[in-house]
Amino acid sequence: MGKLAATQAQVEDFIGNTIGQAEDYYLSLTAKPFEIANKFHAKHDRLIKQATDQLRRWNVDSGKLAMKLIVKLEGEETKSVKAKRSVNRAGAKAKSNVKRSAKKAKAYIDKMDVEA
C-alpha cells in the first residue's frame, strides 16, 4: 500500500502543479489585453496632452495677433507702441536739431572763409 499511496501523492501533486500552471497561463493571457489597453491609453493620453498643449500655444499666438489687429483697427495704442512712437519722435527731433546746427556751423565757417 505504501507504493500506491506514494504514487497517488505524486499524481495529486502533478495534477495540482498542472492546474497551477494552467491558472497562471490563463491569468497571463487574460491580463494581456489589459496591458495592451494600458499601453494604448498611455500613448493616447500623451498624444492628447501634446495636441492640447499645441492648441493652447496656437490660441495664445492667435490672441496676440488678434490684439495687434484690433489695436491697429481701433487706433488704440499700447504702452509699448506709445513708447516706440515717442522714441522715434525724439530721434527725429534730435536729427533735425543736429542738421540745423550743422547748417549754422557750415554757414559760419563759410562766412569766416569769405572774410579771411
Tally of domains in the chain: 2
Identify the DSSP state of 21.
Answer: H
Same domain, 71 and 86: no
Q: Considering the entire predicted model, what is its pTM?
A: 0.40
Among 74, 108, 5, smallest CA distance to 116 is for 108
Q: Does 10 lie in the same domain as 66? A: yes
Q: Which pLDDT belongs to residue 87?
A: 74
Do 52 and 4 have their domain in common?
yes
- Residues 105 and 60 placed together within one structural domain of the fold: no
Q: Which residue has the higher pLDDT, 39 or 77?
A: 39
Which string of DSSP letters, residue by residue, matches 90-113?
HHHHHHHHHHHHHHHHHHHHHHHH
Asked if 95 contacts 102 with a C-beta cutoff of 8 angstroms, the reply is no
Say yes or no: 19 and 34 in one domain.
yes
The average pLDDT across 98-109 equals 77
113, 105 Cβ separation under 8 angstroms:
no
- Domain hosting residue 115, numbered range: 77-116
Same domain, 95 and 48: no
Residue 90 has pLDDT above 90, yes or no: no
- Residue 77: phi and psi, rounded to 5, are -115, 140
Mean pLDDT of the chain: 82
pLDDT tens digits, residue range 11-52? 999 999 999 999 999 888 888 888 888 888 889 999 999 999
Check whether residue 53 and residue 110 sit in a common domain: no
